[in-house]
Amino acid sequence: MSKGTESADFVIIGSGSAGSAMAYRLSEAGASVIVIEYGGSDAGPLIQMPAALSYPMNMPRYDWGFVSEPEPHLNGRRLVCPRGKVIGGSSSINGMVYVRGHALDYDHWEETGASGWAFADVLPYFRRMESWHSGGHGGDPEWRGSDGPLHVTRGPRSNPLFAAFVEAGKQAGYPVTGDYNGRQQEGFGPMEQTVWNGRRWSAANAYLRPALKRGNCTLVRGLATRVMFEDRRAVGVEIDLGGTRRVIRANREVVIAASTINSPKLLMLSGIGPQMQLREHGIEVLADRPGVGANLHDHLEIYIQMAASQPITLFKHWNLFGKGRIGLQWLLTRSGLGASNQFESAAFIRSRAGVQYPDIQYHFLPIAVRYDGQAAAEGHGFQVHVGPMRSKSRGSVTLRSNDPADSPVIRFNYMSHPDDWEDFRSCIRLTREIFAQPAFAPYIRHEIQPGSALQSDEDLDAFLIDNVESAYHPCGTCRMGRADDPDAVVDPEGRVIGVQGLRVADSSIFPRITNGNLNAPSIMVGEKMSDHLLERAPLPRANDEPWINPDWEISQR
d(CA 205, CA 195): 10
Identify the CA nearest to 407 among candidates 68, 9, 180, 107. 68
- Is residue 97 marked as binding? yes
Identify the CA nearest to 470 among candidates 71, 64, 15, 17. 71
d(CA 475, CA 101): 14
Give me the catalytic one of 297, 363, 473, 532. Answer: 473
Identify the CA nearest to 54 among candidates 279, 456, 323, 243. 323
d(CA 431, CA 347): 11
Residue 137 annotated as catalytic: no
d(CA 84, CA 497): 27
Could you write out the three-class secondary structure of 236-257?
EEEEEECCEEEEEEEEEEEEEC
d(CA 27, CA 342): 35
Angle at 40 between CA 34 and CA 41, to 5 degrees: 100
Beta strands 345-349; 187-190: pairing state: antiparallel
Residue 398 pairs in a beta bridge with 409
d(CA 301, CA 384): 10
User: In b/e form, how buried is each residue of 298-307, taking b as 16+ CB within 10 angstroms?
Assistant: bbbbbbbbbb
Sign for the CA dihedral angle at 10, 14, 15, 16 comes to negative
User: In b/e form, how buried is each residue of 325-345, taking b as 16+ CB within 10 angstroms?
Assistant: ebbebbeeebebbbbbbbbbb
Amino acid at 348: F
Identify the CA nearest to 434 among candidates 315, 349, 517, 555. 349
Instruction: Identify whether the C-beta of residue 337 lies closer than 8 Å to the C-beta of residue 314.
Output: yes
The three-state secondary structure class of 113 is coil
**Helix (H), strand (E) at residue 49:** none
- Is residue 529 marked as binding? no
- Is residue 86 marked as binding? yes
**Helix (H), strand (E) at residue 262:** helix 259-269
So which residues are the catalytic ones?
473
Known binding-site residues equal 86, 94-97
Known binding-site residues for FAD equal 86, 94-97
